[in-house]
Amino acid sequence: QGKLVESGGGSVQAGGSLKLSCAYSTVTTRRACMGWFRQPPGKEREGIAILFTGGGDPFYDDSVKGRFTISQDSDKNAIITEMNSLKAEDTAMYYCATYFPVTWPRGARCSTQPSDYVYWGQGTQVTVSS
């Protein structure tokens, strides 16, 4: 059984940039919904950037639209998320997660609900100071 390996994160001043990377440890040809969730202290976990490895437009939460970009690195079985113009409210623990949809009908979209995701990374802290 594979697992997710995260890298990136750290501390930065407001306006700065960071990059998160998440790789699935087992090479697979199965199409997956894969992305990032974050959980600020005392708040619920929320999906912020998610893509389907089979193609289509990624999902972005309104709070990160225009600032975060998620992309797929197929050679490395990984996703990369560039985070720009970071704000203090972006401070949170960030988790990579994935699930493999059984079916994918035309027009389908990846779930943004944490409960639908089967595999999770260990989390990486992002701290933005103002």
Per-residue pLDDT for the chain (130 aa), expressed as one digit of tens each? 568 989 999 999 999 999 999 988 776 678 899 999 999 999 999 999 999 998 999 999 999 999 999 999 877 788 999 999 999 999 999 999 999 998 888 889 999 999 999 999 999 999 999 9
| Residue written as token pair 């994160």 | 9
CA separation for the pair 94, 36 (Å, rounded): 7
Which string of b and e fits 4-39 if b means at least 16 CB within 10 Å? bebebbeebeeeeebebbbbbeeeeeeebbbbbbbe
Q: Residue 12 is encoded by which pair of tokens?
A: 């930065």
